[in-house]
Structures are given as structure tokens and as C-alpha cells.
Amino acid sequence: MKDQNTSRPQMTRRQMLKTTGTVAAASTLAGMTVPHVHAGENNTIQLALVGAGGRGTGAAADALVSRFGPTRLVAMADVFDYKLKASYKRLSTQFADKVDVPKERQFLGFDAYRKAMDCLRPGDVVILTTPPAFRWVHFTYAIEKGLNVFMEKPVTVDGPTTKKMLKLAKKADAKGLKVAVGLMCRHCRARQELYQRIKDGAIGDIVLLRAYRVVGPTGTAFTKRKPDGISELLYQIKNFHAFLWASGGAVSDFLIHNIDECCWMKDDWPVEAKGFGGRHYRGDYVDQNFDTYNVEYTFRDGSKLFLAGRCMGGCYNEFASYAQGSKGSAVISTSAHTPARCRIYKSQKMSKENLTWAYPQPEPNPYREEWNDLLQAIREDRPYNEVPRGAMASLVTSMGRLAAHTGQVVTLEQMMNHPHEFAPDVDKLTYQSPAPLRADKDGRYPVPMPGILTDREYA
């Protein structure tokens, strides 16, 4: 008798992943654990990590524990050997049975992203967590290889790269690829319920949004002169928060979450920005950032988002976002990104006696949920592309930054069509390349000069 299995058509990898997703979802609903599957089987989603810093290492860890696994890390890439080694040590120690990255699949250099992606099969996932200047370069190759993508925010830092990313998003859609952007607040279950309640009229029409990230010095936003023993290029990449070409600076890298969650609740993007800010107490710091930023965003209906950002020690701190409506008010986020502790009040006074709803605690971790959502979309083979939204959030953030840095009113259309691309040749960089930004003879870099330099952020 003929073996029935031999007469069956061969299952494609996409079908295999979809079947596994159905099993994973059913097992989750039943409170069961999906059994461990060997990495060689088709339903294991392989991962490559491009950018092995802290955020990339964290993203890989979140992917490896997703309930929509199995997943396995098989390749890693960075331009810094010490980062690659530290990331590998942490992940291989924490996930010994899910990390299979021998020395020959640990790649170093500006072309390492290609070598890491070459280790994957179409339908696997590459994690892009380098400084955002490189995002369009790496995304281009991922699409060419037929890979699904998780990319960190921001995805762009200026108008020209935003246009590039929007075009690439269409190419990814045409190939049926799934792409996630690390604006994890969108995957916060508390914020999702708050959004729906606001849409249902819980606070009436939103007339004002307020966002604050007024904290002490963060990341590498405060950077001193380049020391000996490191090239100008690697020094700037290592301290990427300090340089607009690499990251968009403190505004783009730090304030984008608050801006994005507010625009989400408004269900719109602002069309204009007025920005204010300045540099104080600079001492030996040579980065391009202001210490304080205040931006007034205006939406099409005339309502406002007021954004306050600050990186200064010894001051009052607040890291939260709020919505004011015609019938009440809401807390979008309470302190940092998670837990959000979303709440609704029946008046503008956010006091206990006016509380009408609060999301129950504890909340699911949005860093984990964004991976669950991506991997579920891959398993179920359904459309999933967050790049257009991520690019718009990045562009709106850059619009506020440009307004503050030039002292001009900037529209969304002006920001999209602004010709200044910070690092147009970033795809050609090597270890021997000069940095996109040059220091003067004193080791200092050009900084924004509002009212003096009004058509671009630095000369």
C-alpha cells in the first residue's frame, strides 16, 4: 500500500509557519506550552541581530521568549567587537538552548549586516537595532533577501530618508513581508483600551495633549571631545545620541514615544510645529543637542500637543503624557513607558474622586507584546507593516526638532520636502571612512543656531 505521506504535496515554509501559528495560538488559549521544536525544523523562525547594543540585545531576548515561537538566534552583527561579545555572552547565558551563534556567524564591520542576513532563510526575521541613520540601508537588503523585519525607532531622522523608508515600505508589502517598528507603546494593552474608550467618547473631543520627558542626562546625549584611540566615525556611532546624522539627537531618539502615543490618541498627525529650546551649562560637552526643548504642535482641527523635553540634572522630573477632552481627561502614560497605568477622569482635575476608569494592574509588557504581535502575523500570514506609521512618527518628531533648532514655524509638508539629508552616503561607510560630521580644531561640532541659521539645523 502506498504511503499516504509520500503522495501529499510538499508544504511550503509559509504554510508551515502559518500552521504552527494556529497551534501556538490554540495552545496559548488553552493555557498549554508549545513543545520545544528542533531548530532544523521549518516552523522555527530564525533570527539575526544587526546592532548588538543594549536595545538590540533586549529585542532579541523578547523575541526568544515569545509565545508564538519557536525562535532561534543564529547570527549577529555589529561594528564594535566589545558590543558583539557582550551581547552574545548575555543572550547565550540566558537562552542557552535558543542561541546558536558560533564564531563564524558573529560578524564585524560595516558590511556585517549582509553576512548576518545571508544566514537566514526567506521568511525569517532580522532585528535592525543600529543607530537609525543605517535603517534604510539595512531595510533595503532585508527586502532583497525576503526577510521579515523588526526595526528600532526612530526609522528616519530627516525628510529625504523618510521618503526612502516610505518607498521601501511599499516594496515590503509587495513581497508580503511583515515589518514591526519598535514603538512598543502601540502594543501596550492598557493604551489600546484607553484609545478605544477615547474613540467611544469617554472624554469627548480631545482639545489638548501634553507630553513630558523632563529628566536628567540620558544615554550619550551629553558627549565630550573625542579621546585618542578611536576614529572620528566610530566615536560618533558609539555616541550616536550626540549627533544628528546618526540618531536625530535627543529629540528623535527620546521624545518620539511621547509624541507617537499622543498622536495615536488624537488619531491624527500634527500639520505644524513651533519649537523653542537652548543650550545651558555646556562645559566640555560637544554634542549637537539642546538641553531643553518645548514644541507646540498643531493638528488640522486646531487642537494642540504641547511637548516638553529636558536633559538636565537637579531639576523636577516628569515622564508622562496626558489628554484633555471636552468632557474629561485621561492619563496616557504615568512614568516612563511601562506600566502606563492609563486612567480616565470625568473632569480636568485628575483626582481620585473624579476617576471613572483605570486599567487593572499588572499590565502585560509591551516590549514582549510587540514581538507576539509580529510573530503571530508571520505565523498567520496576514498583512503587517508598521513602517508607514513609524516613518510618520519619526517625521513629526523631526518637524518639532527642526522648528526648535531653526526658530521657525515648520509645517509637515515642509519637513517631508526639506532637502537636508544628514548622511546621504551612509551606505558607503567603511572603517576607513571620514565621519559625516567634522569637528573643528578645538574638537567641537556645529550646533543649531535658531534665528541665525534658519533653513537647516547646522552648517
Q: pLDDT band at residue 15, thresholds of 50, 70 and 90?
A: low
CA–CA distance, 421 with 244 (Å, rounded to integer): 10
Arithmetic mean of pLDDT, 424-452: 97
C-alpha cell at 140: 533595503
By three-state DSSP, how is residue 233 classified? helix
pLDDT at 282: 85
Average pLDDT of the residues of the chain: 92
Give 98-142 as a 3 state SS string. Answer: CECCCHHHEEECCCHHHHHHCCCCCCCEEEECCCHHHHHHHHHHH
State the amino acid at position 27 in one-letter form. Answer: S
Strand, helix or coil for residue 211: strand
pLDDT of residue 336: 94
- How large is the average pLDDT for residues 276-305? 95
Q: What percent of the chain has pLDDT over 70?
A: 91
Tell me the mean pLDDT in the region 155-183: 98
pTM: 0.91
Query: For position 140, what pLDDT does the model report?
Result: 98
Predicted confidence at residue 3, as pLDDT, reads 38
User: What's the grid cell of residue 407?
Assistant: 526658530
Q: Dump strand ranges (E) for 147-261.
A: 148-151, 179-181, 206-215
- Check residue 186 and give its pLDDT: 98
Of the chain, the percentage scoring pLDDT greater than 90 comes to 89
By CB atoms closer than 10 A (0-12, 13-18, 19+), residue 408 is middle
Distance CA 104, CA 9 (A): 36
Higher pLDDT, 32 or 41: 41
Query: Which residues is 307 bridged to in the sheet?
Result: 211, 295
Q: Radius of gyration over alpha carbons of the chain, in Å?
A: 23
Mean pLDDT of 230-241: 98
Question: Measured between alpha carbons, how far is 251 from 256 in angstroms, rounded to an integer?
Answer: 7
Can you tell me the distance from the alpha carbon of 28 to that of 259, in angstroms, rounded to the nearest whole number?
33
State residue 160's pLDDT score. Answer: 98
Rounded Cα gap, residues 387 and 394, in angstroms:
10
Q: Where are the domains of the chain?
A: 10-185+369-385, 190-363+394-428
With 0-12 CB in 10 A as exposed, 13-18 as middle and 19+ as buried, what is 3? exposed
pLDDT at 449 over 80: yes
The reported pLDDT for the residue numbered 40 is 42
Grid cell digits, residue 312? 538636565
| 409 half-sphere exposure, CB direction, 13 A CA radius | 5
CATH number of 10-185+369-385: 3.40.50.720
Please state the length of the chain: 459
The terminus-to-terminus CA distance of the chain in angstroms comes to 79
Strand partners of residue 420: none
Residue with cell 474608550: 197
State the CATH class of domain 190-363+394-428.
alpha beta
Would you say the CATH fold of 190-363+394-428 matches that of 10-185+369-385?
no
Give residue 82's pLDDT.
98
What pLDDT was estimated at residue 33?
A: 32
Residue 146 predicted with pLDDT over 70: yes
What does the pLDDT read at residue 307? Answer: 98
- When pLDDT is averaged across residues 205-212 and rounded to a whole number, the result is 98
Q: What is the pLDDT of residues 51-110, one digit of tens each?
A: 999 999 999 999 999 999 999 999 999 999 999 999 999 999 999 999 999 999 999 999
What is the distance between the alpha carbons of residues 63 and 57, in angstroms, rounded to a whole number?
10
Beta strands, E only, 165-205: 179-181
